[in-house]
Structure 1
Amino acid sequence: MKYAIAQNSGKQFLLKPGEWYDVDFIKNANLGDFISINKILFFRNNNQIQLGKPFLDKSQIPAKIIQQVKGKKIRVLKTKPKKKYTRTYGHRQPYTRVQIDFIN
């Protein structure tokens, strides 16, 4: 089984070929563009294992941008006690959905 553990925007992902992942929003990205994930911590190809210290040198994983999405809505409530002040608003975090086609 082929998979890798990579770091992107301070978060670590277990990447497998053929699956999609939500990463932090990329502003100037168009659908169908490819990005490369360079910070690879761990790589496994059947019985072969490579471990980075902290990252593997000269290795990258290509990822195809398939969608720009918004996350789950959260509600934020601000109050000030004894002052009759209450404000409620929501927030939806934007994400970029990428698909891993293959891992070298």
Structure 2
Amino acid sequence: MYAVIKTGGKQYKVAAGDKIKIEQIAADVGQEVVFDQVLAVGSGADLRVGAPLLAGATVTAKVVEHGRHDKVRIFKMRRRKHYQKRGGHRQHYTEIEIGAIAG
């Protein structure tokens, strides 16, 4: 059984036991979180799709860790104008392990 959930402005296809990295959420390590924005639930050839969300469908997950992704280098340059600018960014994430899918 799998589900498509929406969190942090993105959509993820998840199944029980999967570990995924999502945008950082306010939850402690080891805490159970419930995602109620479920877009679809499927099992084999059977697929139920919401419009846009499935009523009553939930996905339960456990927070494994918080962290930061690798640095993304940003470099801007205007040739022949003596302009160079360097920067970087590290995005925060929360790693979760999917538990039960209900709905």
Whether TM exceeds 0.5 here: the answer is yes
Structure 1 or 2: more strand by fraction:
2
Number of residue pairs matched by the alignment: 102
Report the counterpart of residue 65 of structure 2 in structure 1.
67
Q: 5+ unaligned residues in a row in structure 2: which ranges?
A: none
Report the counterpart of residue 90 of structure 1 in structure 2.
88
Q: Distance in 2 between matches of 1:65 and 1:34?
A: 6
Q: Which residue identity does 1:76 align to in structure 2?
A: I
Q: Which residue identity does 1:54 align to in structure 2?
A: P
Output the aligned Cα RMSD: 1.8
Query: C-alpha deviations, 1:47-102, integer Å up to 9, x for none?
Result: 54322111111221111110112112111113344443323222111101111022
Q: Which residue identity does 1:98 align to in structure 2?
A: I
Indicate which of 70, 79, 83 corresponds to 2:77. 79
Report deviation, 1:41: 1.0
Report the counterpart of residue 13 of structure 1 in structure 2.
12
Identity over the aligned pairs, expressed in percent? 27
Report deviation, 1:37: 0.9
Q: 5+ unaligned residues in a row in structure 1: which ranges?
A: none
